[in-house]
Amino acid sequence: MTRKQRRLYFVILGMLALGAATALVLTAVGDGMVYFYTPRDLRTRHISPDRRVRIGGLVKQGSVVRDGKTVHFVITDLTADLKTTYTGVLPDLFREGQGVVAEGKVDGNGVFQASEVLAKHDEKYMPKDVAEALKKSGHWQGETPQK
Amino acid sequence: MIPEIGHFALILALFVALAQAIIPLVGAARDDRPWMDVARSAAFAQLLLVGLAFGALVWVHVTSDFSVLNVAQNSHTDKPMLYKVTGVWGNHEGSMLLWVFILALYGAALALFGRNLPPALRARALAVQAMISVGFLVFILFTSNPFARLDPAPMNGNGLNPLLQDPGLAFHPPFLYLGYVGFSMAFSFAIAALIEGRVDAAWARWVRPWTLAAWSFLTLGIAMGSWWAYYTLGWGGWWYWDPTENASFMPWLAGTALLHSAVVVEKRGTLKAWTILLAIFAFSLSLLGTFIVRSGIVTSVHSFASDPTRGVFILGLLVLAVGGSLILFAVRAPSLKGGGLFAPISREGSLLLNNVLMSTACGTVLLGTLYPLFADVLNLGKVSVGAPFFNAVFIPLMIPLIATMALGPMLSWKRGDLGGVLGRLKLAFVAVLVAGCVTWLLAGGSAKPLQAAGGIALAAWLFIGTMVEWAERVRLFRAPLAEVWRRALHLPRAAYGMSLTHAGLAVVVVGITGSACWTSEKITMMHPGETVALAGYQMTLNGVEDGVKGPNYTAARAHFTARRDGRVIAEMYPEKRLYTMPPRPTTDAAIHTNFISDLYAVIGDPDGKGGYVVRLYHNTLVPWIFLGAVIMVLGGVVSLTDRRHRVGAPARKAKSIATV
């Protein structure tokens, strides 16, 4: 085997790996990528019920209703509200008036069926996406509104 | 007084590092021995000074000196002593100081153990180390001074994020950093070799132990982080493909590739430029990892409210390090002539395949991790790239990799005989069939029998293949026992290290497959006295006791009894804790393990009518993931004790010295 052949072999191997990776990435992009919206975005944008999305905002004061292991609450960016339903154990930092990011699908009735609720790990911390969403809607009050 | 001494020591360390970065380089260029030897003394001086600064920070944390801002923000008098110490690196400033301290440790270790290195190579490597040190010391002194004072001093501190008050996470950062920073050694050697324009077998032999040590630490660090996430976050999972996890995983992938390509450089004198490139990438990804975690550009556990100048600063460092080293690489790489030729089917070929797949996998993880950033900057909308993406891309790349792992070590160098090797692996084929079929039958009830059978069969292939390779080396069943024993004793430790690590990965694969295919989960509302069935167990909630006092928290503690066929298996006490300072709740899952599967209980919120939301998991084979990781680390350690890996032991061949 000559040097040239070996180089060719390297290149072919590299191309194969790259091609395989590209193919895998392209097939995975569909379900692996989840877009982030605020309740306000949903007013102007229709989301098909089979599309997973993330919604960020604040948990509206007084909106949390527990019904057994299912919780109903409203995610708000203070200009628009979104009814949300979630079944399971809520994260420790889930509280009314606090930032929240939920992942799930919007059903036919416009209710957000969350399959995952994320409240951030740090109390001082407002999820970045939520902070920006609030800034966008003009309701930003600084890093620690509750403390 | 103590904080000022620490601060002053850091400033001195910066000047020492500056001297160490310049003088030895000039000395090496002029072949001036005394100038080169400055590197050694400077490296020791740096360790002393940075050690002094680190000690000072530990001191103010242990004594709760709240006149220091860093202590006031992150500590509290009620905090247990263990967390006062580990709280030193539980914050941004302290963790960066730990970073530099570990860098100084490695530098001093190189100066101490590298006596047999050619003086010029040692001087240059230490100078490159010092450049990294300068970058980070400037960063600490100008943007993240841990010794800043607070006047007036508060009566007490804000306390440490309770999630970090945990033994698993307390020691996770030091090990992770020992890994990250350890790759700086490979990087420094790579840059030194590029300056010299020469990479040879001896060079690879010097780089391997450092890379191996870094790799072992990093593996342990990642495993600890994963274990912590598993038992404290209460989600029952052990890996989330979170950006911060990926940040530590990418250097691991690049480092693993480097470890393997360095073998080829050492044994066959080829793949030189590629190995240098990998060394640069492994460390660059470590820097990127630090950037991702420290700059707060992604949201996760680690991103404390952060200061944008810091992110920009680390980004600048990153650009300088990566850009500078890649330019040097572009100039010098063409002069690194590859040596031995080899056929595609050969040991080198299989190691190359490992490298290609590892790098590709690393690239896809990088893409997935950084894509949300790019999308945000380019106004393509806000996206998050989640586990489905990574699983769909990463796992298919790992399957051929693991399949080759059993074959590779059995192929001979230069030109291997694939047919012959496959013939010698008959036992492994049998194992694959048996494992696959048995799993298929056992998994019949579950939803994913195909995945389960595939995963277990792959693990069986790797495990038996690795064992066969070892058995052949010692001629097990082929030679008299005395001969086998003699061979087993004389087999190099590095060989045992490889076998252990590969076998450890097989165990990890079993664990991952088990956790992906057999986990049962139950989320339900329970009242005291109720029993729920889960994967053949009966879980009874006996009651929930409120107001249980801990050192710095109060907890609601639930009491579960797990029974199987009426026999009591375990009493479990998951807690929901509310820390006093800072006042925030955490979940403390209760885990009962029999080393094959875990019962995992989490208590949630009360419904106000005496019921509680509970989350119960039966996680099959998850303990094997951590067990396998520990075996892999053990393999790394065993390999490190190999005589051939002893740092600085080998000298360059007379011929190459003549060409200096």
From CA B496, how far away is CA B410, in angstroms rounded?
Answer: 14
Q: Does residue A21 sit in the same domain as residue A69?
A: no
Check whether B377 has a pLDDT greater than 80: no
Paired tokens of B301: 């556990």
Q: Does residue A18 sit in the same domain as residue A55?
A: no
List pLDDT tens digits, range B27-66: 999 999 999 999 999 999 999 999 999 999 999 999 999 9
From CA B425, how far away is CA A95, in angstroms rounded?
Answer: 58
pLDDT at B579: 87
pLDDT at B648: 47
From CA B394, how far away is CA A20, in angstroms rounded?
Answer: 11
**B38 CB contacts (<8 Å, ≥6 apart)?**
B19, B20, B23, B24, B27
Residue A11 covered by a domain: yes
Check whether A80 has a pLDDT greater than 90: no
Residue A101 covered by a domain: yes
- The mean-pLDDT minimum among B142-151, B393-402, B422-431, B444-453 falls in B444-453
Residue A146 covered by a domain: no
More confident residue, B315 or B138: B138
- The mean-pLDDT minimum among B54-68, B336-350, B591-605 falls in B336-350
Give me the mean pLDDT over the B566-576 stretch.
Answer: 93
More confident residue, B137 or B476: B137
A-chain residues within 8 Å CB-CB of B523? 69, 87-89
Check whether A142 has a pLDDT greater than 80: no
pLDDT band at B575 (very low <50, low <70, confident <90, very high): very high
A-chain residues within 8 Å CB-CB of B578? none
Paired tokens of B1: 């007084």
Facing B360 at nearest CB: one of A9, A18, A32: A18
Q: Best of A41, A89, A130 to disrupt the B interface by mutation (most B CBs within 10 Å)? A: A89
Q: Does residue A28 sit in the same domain as residue A62?
A: no
Q: Which of B290, B12, B312, B9 is nearest to B143 (CA)?
A: B312
b/e code B206-223 from CB counts within 10 Å (16+ = b): bbbbbbbbbbbbbbbbbb
A interface with B, Cβ–Cβ below 8 Å: 1-3, 6, 9-10, 13-14, 17-18, 20-21, 24-25, 27-29, 31-37, 54, 66, 68-69, 87-90, 92-93, 103, 120-125, 127-129, 143
B-chain residues within 8 Å CB-CB of A127? 299
pLDDT at B117: 87
Q: Does residue A56 sit in the same domain as residue A120?
A: yes
To the nearest 10°, report the CA torsion of B220, B221, B225, B227.
10
Check whether B652 has a pLDDT greater than 60: no
Q: Best of A3, A29, A69 to disrupt the B interface by mutation (most B CBs within 10 Å)? A: A69
pLDDT at B132: 95
pLDDT at A89: 79
pLDDT at A14: 85
- The mean-pLDDT minimum among A126-135, B371-380, B423-432, B524-533 falls in A126-135
Q: Does residue A62 sit in the same domain as residue A44?
A: yes
Residue showing tokens 């709760």? B64
Q: Does residue A12 sit in the same domain as residue A41?
A: no
Interchain proximity B299–A125, CB inside 8 Å: yes
Facing A127 at nearest CB: one of B299, B388, B607: B299
Interchain proximity A3–B338, CB inside 8 Å: yes
Give me the mean pLDDT over the B410-431 stretch.
Answer: 88
Residue A110 covered by a domain: yes
Q: Does residue A17 sit in the same domain as residue A46?
A: no
List pLDDT tens digits, range B66-92: 999 989 888 888 888 999 998 898 888
Give me the mean pLDDT over the A97-101 stretch.
Answer: 81
Provide the 3-class DSSP secondary structure of residue B553: strand
Let me know: does B67 contact B153? Beta carbons within 8 Å.
Answer: yes
From CA B660, how far away is CA B655, in angstroms rounded?
Answer: 9
Alpha helices in B144-200 (DSSP H): 167-170, 172-196
pLDDT at B298: 61
Give me the mean pLDDT over the B248-276 stretch.
Answer: 92
SS (H, E, C) B326-364: HHHHHHHHHHCCCCCCCCCCCHHHHHHHHHHHHHHHHHH
Q: Does residue A40 sit in the same domain as residue A102?
A: yes
pLDDT cut 70: percent of chain B above it: 95
pLDDT at B626: 95
Domain count, chain A: 2
Q: Does residue A17 sit in the same domain as residue A43?
A: no
pLDDT band at A135 (very low <50, low <70, confident <90, very high): low
Domain that holds residue A5: 1-32
From CA A97, how far away is CA A141, in angstroms rounded?
Answer: 12
pLDDT at B296: 61
Q: Does residue A97 sit in the same domain as residue A44?
A: yes
Query: Residue A68 is part of a domain; what is its CATH number?
Result: 2.40.50.140
Of A95-109, B14-28, B296-310, B436-450, highest mean pLDDT: B14-28
b/e code B235-251 from CB counts within 10 Å (16+ = b): bbbbbbbbbbbbbbbbb
Q: Strands B585-588 and B590-593: what pairing? A: unpaired
- The mean-pLDDT minimum among B118-127, B433-442, B629-638 falls in B433-442
Let me know: does B270 contact B342? Beta carbons within 8 Å.
Answer: yes
Q: Does residue A100 sit in the same domain as residue A79?
A: yes
Interchain proximity A31–B360, CB inside 8 Å: no
pLDDT at B657: 37
* Angstrom distances, CA of residue B16 to CA of B11, B54, B133, B508: 9, 16, 10, 44
pLDDT band at B651 (very low <50, low <70, confident <90, very high): low
From CA B312, how far away is CA B306, in angstroms rounded?
Answer: 11
pLDDT at B126: 96
Provide the 3-class DSSP secondary structure of residue B608: coil
Check whether A145 has a pLDDT greater than 80: no
CB atoms within 10 A of CB B533: 10
Q: Which of B94, B99, B56 is nearest to B75 (CA)?
A: B94
Interchain proximity A35–B163, CB inside 8 Å: no
From CA A58, how far away is CA A47, in angstroms rounded?
Answer: 20
* Backbone CA torsion sign across B10, B14, B16, B17: positive
pLDDT band at B417 (very low <50, low <70, confident <90, very high): confident
Provide the 3-class DSSP secondary structure of residue A103: strand
- The mean-pLDDT minimum among B294-298, B503-507, B520-524, B553-557 falls in B294-298
pLDDT at B300: 46
Q: Does residue A66 sit in the same domain as residue A93?
A: yes
Check whether B166 has a pLDDT greater than 80: yes
pLDDT cut 90: percent of chain B above it: 52
Q: Which long-range CB contacts under 8 A does B448-452 form with residues at least 24 apart?
A: B448/B516, B448/B517, B451/B513, B451/B516, B451/B517, B452/B513, B452/B514, B452/B517, B452/B518
